[in-house]
Amino acid sequence: MIQSGILNPHLLSLLARVRHTNTLVIADRAFPNFPQLEIVDLSLICGVPTVLQVLDALKPNFMIGKVWQAEQFITANSREIVSSFDQAFASIPNVIIERLDHDAFKKLVPGAIGLIRTGDATLYGNIIIESV
């Protein structure tokens, strides 16, 4: 039995299939459904877990080279929320951050290996992470 780290078997199965340059979406509770993607729904209640909590859980075993996020995130959220995401991204060595229009962001989603849905309610708080 797994004693530490990620315990969710569906999430572990998805992560085991990620290879070099594959992407994963970590999305909020209201992110649209993409039927062609495998979805691991971790949402429990509003705000649990958050996108950043899932990102933190993935970081020890997921080499992240790039993060995409909607540019609308900056103007839709408080300075504190933006800062918390920036700090989380800054803790990833050599990561490239790209913010783009939300519609362009959503066009990248179908190319992902899968989508992890959270209970997060942060406006435009969705991210796409790319494996190194």
Show the domains of the chain with their CATH numbers: 18-131 (3.40.1650.10)
- Per-residue tens of pLDDT for the chain, all 132 residues: 778 899 999 999 999 999 999 999 999 999 999 999 999 999 999 999 999 999 999 999 899 999 999 999 999 999 999 999 999 999 999 999 999 999 999 999 999 999 999 999 999 999 999 999
3 state SS of 30: coil
Q: Determine the pLDDT at residue 4.
A: 84
Q: Determine the pLDDT at residue 84.
A: 98
Q: Determine the pLDDT at residue 111.
A: 97
CA distance linking residue 30 with residue 89, whole number of Å: 22
The active-site residue, picked from 16, 20, 46, 103, is: 20
Known active-site residue 20: yes
